[in-house]
């Protein structure tokens, strides 16, 4: 079940959180993993941990907003492993601390869009070009905030854009006869550094990390926050042939957040 033996995967934002957990699960399931991150040292730590565990991996520093950077990553992957079968567009920013709608600027809007949406377009386009003579699975990490509102216009719009970009490319690949599946993943609040750091931007006085955790837990009917492996397991499923009849779909892993 959920095996990806002899497949080659690129995971962006692989230095921490959901990205790092995904890299480890893909490697354990048989894939060679290219770990990329804006923080090259973090990417290297993830790749080294995989190698020490007997897996296959390499690391690259990557700014996902750079088209030239994407070309370098794809070319390096093909040079090292001869192919590309899986892309996980995971890198993103929260947009926390940005001004409210009335005070937002075009620059603040574009900052979120460039990382959360433009980069996913670039990665998806480059991956399709690399995969279309063979086969592949592209998994784009969106959010529950790509389905419902409440996180600020730029973040909601960027994550909603990821959802519909994934559907559009899935339809395109099908019409072109490419054996490429494209799906999006929509996590609820996952207890990772990205979420933990939100405490710095809370309006409530004296908000602590534990207080934040309790507040967010109450929003999830399942009674707990997610952990990185909860999402990584869903990504592994979409990367594997066990999800071979899924494309253009959204996999919501949110502890019931969107059911309320």
**Domain holding 102: CATH number?**
3.40.50.720
Which of 251, 191, 193 lies closest to 226 in space, CA to CA? 191
Which band of pLDDT confidence, cut at 50, 70 and 90, is reported for residue 105?
A: very high
Residue tagged active-site, from 155, 178, 189, 257: 155
- Whether 3 maps to a domain, the answer reads no
- Whether 91 maps to a domain, the answer reads yes
Asked whether the predicted pLDDT for residue 207 surpasses 90, the reply is: no
Q: Is the CB of residue 114 less than 8 Å from the CB of residue 41?
A: no
Which band of pLDDT confidence, cut at 50, 70 and 90, is reported for residue 206?
A: confident
Residues 6+ apart with CB under 8 A from 153: 101, 104, 109
- Whether 144 maps to a domain, the answer reads yes
- Whether 219 maps to a domain, the answer reads no
Domain limits at 58?
Answer: 8-192+227-255
Extract the tokens encoding 88: 């996980």
Asked whether the predicted pLDDT for residue 57 surpasses 80, the reply is: yes
Average pLDDT over residues 156-180: 98
155 is catalytic: yes
- Whether 60 maps to a domain, the answer reads yes
- Whether 208 maps to a domain, the answer reads no
- Whether 178 maps to a domain, the answer reads yes
How many domains are there within the chain? 1
Which band of pLDDT confidence, cut at 50, 70 and 90, is reported for residue 201?
A: low
Mean pLDDT value across the chain: 95
pLDDT 10s digits, 115-147: 999 999 999 999 999 999 999 999 999 999 999
- How many CA atoms does the CB half-sphere of 89 hold within 13 Å? 34
Q: What is the pLDDT of residue 98?
A: 83
Asked whether the predicted pLDDT for residue 255 surpasses 80, the reply is: yes
3-state secondary structure the chain: CCCCCCCEEEECCCCCHHHHHHHHHHHHCCCEEEEEECCHHHHHHHHHHHHHCCCEEEEEECCCCCHHHHHHHHHHHHHHHCCCCEEEECCCCCCCCCCCHHHCCHHHHHHHHHHHHHHHHHHHHHHHHHHCCCEEEEEEECCHHHCCCCCCHHHHHHHHHHHHHHHHHHHHHHHHCCEEEEEEEEECCECCHHHHHHHHHCCCCCCCHHHHHHHHHCCCCCCCCECHHHHHHHHHHHHCHHHCCCCCCEEEECCCHHHC
- Whether 175 maps to a domain, the answer reads yes
pLDDT 10s digits, 22-45: 999 999 999 999 999 999 999 999
Asked whether the predicted pLDDT for residue 15 surpasses 70, the reply is: yes
Q: What is the pLDDT of residue 199?
A: 66
Long-range contact set of residues 45-54: C-beta below 8 Å, sequence gap at least 24: 45/15, 46/14, 46/15, 46/19, 46/20, 47/14, 47/23, 49/24, 50/23, 50/24, 53/24, 53/27, 53/28
Query: φ, ψ for residue 116 (rounded to 5)?
Result: -85, -25
Residues 6+ apart with CB under 8 A from 39: 15, 16, 61
Rounded to whole angstroms, the Cα distance separating 90 from 139 reads 8
- How many CA atoms does the CB half-sphere of 117 hold within 13 Å? 19
Average pLDDT over residues 69-77: 98
């Amino acid at each position: 079940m959920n095996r990806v033996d002899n497949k080659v995967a690129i995971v962006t934002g692989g230095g921490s959180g959901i990205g790092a957990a995904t890299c480890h699960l893909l490697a354990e399931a048989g894939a060679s993993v290219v770990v990329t991150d804006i923080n090259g040292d973090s990417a290297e730590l993830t790749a080294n941990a995989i190698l020490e565990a007997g897996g296959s991996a390499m690391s690259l520093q990557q700014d996902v907003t750079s088209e030239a950077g994407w070309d370098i990553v794809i070319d390096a992957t093909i040079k090292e492993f001869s192919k590309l079968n899986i892309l996980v567009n995971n890198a993103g920013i929260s947009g926390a601390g940005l001004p409210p709608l009335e005070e937002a600027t075009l620059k603040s809007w574009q900052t979120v869009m460039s990382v959360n949406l433009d980069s996913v377009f670039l990665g998806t386009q480059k991956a399709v070009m690399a995969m279309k003579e063979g086969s592949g699975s592209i998994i784009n990490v969106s959010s529950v905030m790509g389905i419902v509102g409440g996180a600020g216009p730029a973040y909601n719009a960027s994550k909603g854009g990821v959802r519909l970009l994934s559907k559009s490319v899935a339809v395109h690949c099908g019409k072109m006869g490419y054996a490429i599946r494209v799906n999006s993943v929509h996590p609820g609040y996952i207890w990772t550094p990205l979420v933990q750091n939100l405490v710095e931007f809370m309006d409530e006085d004296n908000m602590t990390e534990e207080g934040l955790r309790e507040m967010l837990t109450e929003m999830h009917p399942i009674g707990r926050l997610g952990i990185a492996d909860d999402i990584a397991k869903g990504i592994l499923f979409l990367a594997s042939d066990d999800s071979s009849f899924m494309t253009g779909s959204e996999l919501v892993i949110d502890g019931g957040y969107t059911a309320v």
